[in-house]
């Protein structure tokens, strides 16, 4: 397995969630390609951590469908499964629609400002063609109402299925990110004025509009 070049090392106190995100993002952005074998020792050396958080992260990635582990043999990055991505997209869309329906009119000014700032960074990244930065800003924006709701069951579902959807997001943001920025603006405004039904529709359309090869 070729390890990416550059100083990717991180502090040894890195949280398990951060290790998971680093590996997840490396798979989503194509750093680790479908079919590539992942070795926990090499990954641990790359991130500068022990093998324990690496193994835990790989288990979580397996649950999300991004890697497949064969006990005692190897862990490999899965091929992109169009049907699985489409199914995950449908679940994610329904979850976000439910979240914004419950949070419309209830977010704080600080929460709304965080969403607006994230969308400004999103639009700027799209204009520059920086898909990775766009994905990061998009994730931050949509996490605001989810975190404010505080429903751990919803958070668990989103964590499991979000990685598969992020692969589809990369394709959309590289082609037509401007429409997503406009939809974000509309969503934020509806949340601010408490239009729960319409906010739910917009949130669902944002996520369900992600194209997969299964469509």
CB 172 within 8 A of CB 73: no
> Tens digits of per-residue pLDDT, 38-62?
998 999 999 988 899 999 999 999 9
Confidence of residue 206 (pLDDT cuts 50, 70, 90): very high
Confidence of residue 7 (pLDDT cuts 50, 70, 90): very low
Listed in sequence order, the residues at least 6 apart from 205 whose beta carbon sits closer than 8 Å to its beta carbon are 183
| pLDDT on residue 92 | 95
CB 134 within 8 A of CB 179: no
CB 203 within 8 A of CB 187: yes
In the three-class reduction of DSSP (H, G, I as helix; E, B as strand; rest coil), residue 75 is classed as strand
| pLDDT on residue 165 | 84
pTM over 0.75: yes
| pLDDT on residue 84 | 86
> Tens digits of per-residue pLDDT, 181-192?
999 999 999 999
Sheet holding 37-38, edge to edge: 37-38, 74-77, 67-70
Give the single-character DSSP code of 48: T
Tally of CB atoms within 10 A around 23 = 26
In the three-class reduction of DSSP (H, G, I as helix; E, B as strand; rest coil), residue 99 is classed as helix
> Tens digits of per-residue pLDDT, 14-30?
568 899 989 998 998 88
Domains of the chain plus CATH, in order, are 16-77 (1.10.10.10), 82-208 (1.20.120.530)
| pLDDT on residue 184 | 96
Report how far residue 166's alpha carbon sits from residue 45's, in angstroms, rounded to the nearest whole number: 26
Report how far residue 171's alpha carbon sits from residue 169's, in angstroms, rounded to the nearest whole number: 5
Report how far residue 200's alpha carbon sits from residue 192's, in angstroms, rounded to the nearest whole number: 13
> Tens digits of per-residue pLDDT, 123-162?
999 899 898 898 899 999 999 999 999 999 999 999 888 8
In the three-class reduction of DSSP (H, G, I as helix; E, B as strand; rest coil), residue 90 is classed as helix
């Amino acid at each position: 397995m070729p390890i990416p070049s550059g100083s990717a090392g991180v502090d040894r106190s890195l949280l398990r969630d951060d290790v998971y995100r680093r590996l997840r993002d490396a798979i989503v952005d194509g750093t680790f390609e479908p079919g590539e074998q992942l070795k926990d020792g090499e990954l641990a050396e790359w991130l500068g951590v022990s093998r324990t958080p690496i193994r835990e992260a790989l288990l979580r990635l397996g649950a999300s469908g991004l890697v497949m582990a064969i006990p005692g043999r190897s862990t490999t990055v899965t091929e992109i499964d169009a049907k699985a991505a489409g199914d995950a997209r449908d679940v994610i869309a329904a979850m976000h629609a439910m979240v914004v329906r419950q949070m419309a009119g209830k977010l704080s000014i600080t929460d709304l400002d965080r969403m607006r700032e994230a969308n400004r960074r999103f639009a700027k990244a799209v204009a520059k063609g920086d898909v990775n930065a766009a994905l990061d800003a998009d994730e931050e924006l949509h996490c605001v109402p989810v975190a404010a709701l505080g429903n751990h069951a919803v958070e668990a579902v989103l964590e499991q299925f979000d990685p598969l959807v992020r692969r589809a997001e990369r394709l959309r943001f590289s082609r037509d990110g401007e429409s997503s920025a406009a939809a974000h603006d509309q969503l934020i405004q509806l949340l601010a004025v408490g239009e729960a039904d319409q906010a739910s529709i917009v949130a669902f359309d944002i996520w369900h509009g992600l194209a997969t090869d299964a469509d």
